[in-house]
Amino acid sequence: MGKSISGFSKLSKSKKIDWIVNSYFSNAEDAKRILKQYWNDDLKLQQLHDEFIENTISNYYLPLGVAPNFLINDRHYTIPMAIEESSVVAAASKAAKFWLDRGGFKTKVISTTKIGQVHFMYYGDFEILNAFFQNVKSKLIKDTQGITKNMEARGGGIIDIELRNKTQDIKGYHQLHASFETLDAMGANFINSCLEQFAKTFKAEAEHYDGFSSLDHPIEIVMSILSNYVPDCLVRAEVSCPVEILSEDPSVSGIDFADTFIQAVRIAEVEPYRAVTHNKGIMNGIDAVVLATGNDFRAVEAGVHAYASKDGQYRSLTHAKVENGIFTFWMEIPLALGTVGGLTGLHPLVKLSLELLHKPNAKELMQVVAVAGLAQNFAALRSLTTTGIQQGHMKMHLMNILNQFKANDSEKMALTTHFKNHTVTHSAVVEALQNLRLTIEK
């Protein structure tokens, strides 16, 4: 089963589907029905989705949920979340409600600088290269004016360009390391366009620079590309309250709750095996909002995990303490986000999600996204250090198991009631469903 094909991208969507279902599926008609089932009846909307990427054959749906009751810097938010994992939206909502009565979330953007690099090879004297760079730096910036004009009019643009010597890592390797301010745009296209112009000018000017006369081709450009590591595009989110009102369980004091919670955070600060799962929980909240708002969650993930390793060991992104009777839980995280460009102006649900968030600018969206991650982590740690993570998660997962075994509405109602007082496991749900069906048959 399966074969190669030439000219696939030139086929119509229906012809692509015909080839795929006939080449790869045992039941071609059933496969075709499923693919077409997810097409949008609105042909104009479907065409819009088809043109987001190449070789589209259908749409892949994820649930879009909302987490209400977030108070961020004294403003109320309902946060949109696109995600498939059970309990994420519920956990975020629960954390939001918990902190709503304790002052809410406080956030601030620390910095918004983004980075791009021209990677090149040069095998001559570094002092000559540096003199050349200082001589040509102003022209590098000048030659991008056609690209930067509109961005500069809004207050952004190129911040600086540095020459970096990386020959200790790779023989001949150097960089033009450039910093940018892209305002409400994520800025990938803007940054990459500037970098490619830097490279073009840099190489052209080097060809007739007197200091390089002994070298035939002094500058060999390898590539020009933005970096998704943005340690200077930082946002801070935190919650705090008197420790005595921290516990909702009357049998557990606030200080005992805080002590156990802080120990859990400290373990993630020193133990990479725990830190990865700890930070994955943070990203449950962050990715869901990033995806709902049409941003690049892969770039965010890569940058965040690199930041978690910035001191040479992978560590927790969140921190907690009790000081002078006040419990504080906080996180500083790099987030390069945009509210203009890309899907933000194209995808109808992205537009709705941004409107739901009061039409934020990029800095405001950074703060909302950071809060979603902090809330998710708080909810997870509170469960882990009290009832355990599985109790809440498996109850949310109950419906997935019932759907897997094609439970009808009455069966779902009966088993949802049953598992309010019983532990949810996959085998327990299957057994309960089988027993229920046997009882009905009798």
Answer yes or no: are the C-beta atoms of 376 and 88 closer than 8 Å: yes
Is pLDDT of 442 > 80? no
Segment 414-420 mean pLDDT: 83
Identify the pLDDT of residue 1: 54
Q: What is the phi/psi pair of residue 408, to 5°?
A: -85, 180
Q: What would the CATH number be for the domain defined by 114-226?
A: 3.30.70.420
Identify the pLDDT of residue 326: 98
Percent of the chain with pLDDT over 90: 82
Is pLDDT of 119 > 80? yes
Question: What's the pLDDT tens digit per position in 148-206?
Answer: 999 999 999 999 999 999 999 999 999 999 999 999 999 999 999 999 999 999 999 99
Task: Give the least confident one: 21-25, 50-54, 119-123, 390-394.
Answer: 390-394
Segment 28-34 mean pLDDT: 96
Which tokens is 378 given? 């708080």
Question: Of residues 296, 347, 364, 397, which has the active-site annotation?
Answer: 296
Which tokens is 230 given? 């943005």
Question: Of residues 18, 85, 271, 332, which has the active-site annotation?
Answer: 85
Q: How far is CA 194 from each of CA 86, 140, 176, 203, 336, rounded to the nearest angstrom?
A: 42, 9, 12, 14, 18
280 as an active site residue: the answer is: yes
Half-sphere exposure of 428 (CA within 13 A, CB side): 14
Q: How far is CA 23 from each of CA 16, 253, 434, rounded to the nearest angstrom?
A: 11, 63, 37
Q: How far is CA 285 from each of CA 80, 90, 95, 261, rounded to the nearest angstrom?
A: 10, 11, 11, 19
426 as an active site residue: the answer is: no
| Residue matched to tokens 């029905």 | 33
Is pLDDT of 259 > 90? yes
Closest alpha carbon to 83 in 293, 263, 337: 293
Question: Of residues 16, 106, 393, 397, which has the active-site annotation?
Answer: 393
Question: What's the pLDDT tens digit per position in 290-338?
Answer: 999 999 999 999 999 999 999 999 999 999 999 999 999 999 999 999 9
323 as an active site residue: the answer is: no
76 as an active site residue: the answer is: no
Identify the pLDDT of residue 396: 62
Identify the pLDDT of residue 162: 98
Is pLDDT of 345 > 90? no
The answer to whether domain 64-109+235-386 and domain 114-226 are alike in fold is no
Answer yes or no: are the C-beta atoms of 373 and 316 closer than 8 Å: no
For the chain, the structural domain boundaries read 8-50, 64-109+235-386, 114-226, 393-441
- Tell me how far apart the alpha carbons of residues 80 and 70 are, in angstroms, rounded to a whole number: 11
Q: What is the phi/psi pair of residue 441, to 5°?
A: -65, -35
Question: Of residues 108, 280, 363, 395, which has the active-site annotation?
Answer: 280
Identify the pLDDT of residue 388: 57
Which tokens is 39 given? 């097409």
Is pLDDT of 406 > 90? no
Closest alpha carbon to 362 in 271, 290, 260, 424: 290
Does domain 64-109+235-386 match CATH 3.40.50.11260? no
